[in-house]
Amino acid sequence: MSKLSHINAKGEAHMVDVSPKEISTRTAVVRARVLMQAATIKLIKAGSAKKGDVLATARIAGIMAAKKTPDLIPLCHPLAISKVTVDFTLAKKHIDVEAAVKVEGKTGVEMEAMTACAIACLTLYDMVKGVDRGITVTDMRLVEKTGGKSGTYRAK
């Protein structure tokens, strides 16, 4: 196992110095699944949720969350994010959520994509919890990252 970059020689947590790294285009894609009742999916599709447009609200929440990641995750670097997308695929009893983040920078955007996806999922829950308390968020994971010294990663 390789050495953890956020732990210094004294065993203390620290922010990694990225100044020697090369600037490159870096992307990350994260997916999760939100399980819910079929009736809840129908409500979302029909646009009849009492709180308003469920998918639009969750999309905006995810985008905002990506930009706030360094405020939430202590050792993340503030980044000038180039692009964030949050997309939804509705099925009979679940919604698949995909967040993608892009930056031209010296460090990756995996945490920004994770944060965007997580907050989009939580917003889906918040928007319809009044009609479906059994909603479950599951299977969040990095599915792809590109750029940087370590290159491309794609989940199997």
The pLDDT-based confidence of 6 (bands split at 50, 70, 90) is: confident
- DSSP string across 121-145: HHHHHHHHTTT-TT-EEEEEEEEEE
The pLDDT-based confidence of 40 (bands split at 50, 70, 90) is: very high
> Across the chain, what does the average pLDDT equal?
94
- Is residue 28 scored above 70 in pLDDT? yes
Torsion sign across C-alpha atoms 144, 7, 139, 99: negative
pTM: 0.93
Query: What are the tens digits of pLDDT across the range 115-156?
Result: 999 999 999 999 999 999 999 999 999 999 999 988 999 999
Q: Which domains does the chain have, with CATH numbers?
A: 24-147 (3.30.70.640)
- DSSP string across 18-66: -TTSPPEEEEEEEEEEEE--HHHHHHHHHT--TTS-HHHHHHHHHHHHH
- Residues noted as catalytic: 126
d(C-alpha 31, C-alpha 80), whole Å: 22
The pLDDT-based confidence of 10 (bands split at 50, 70, 90) is: confident
For a pLDDT cut of 70, what percent of the chain falls above it? 99
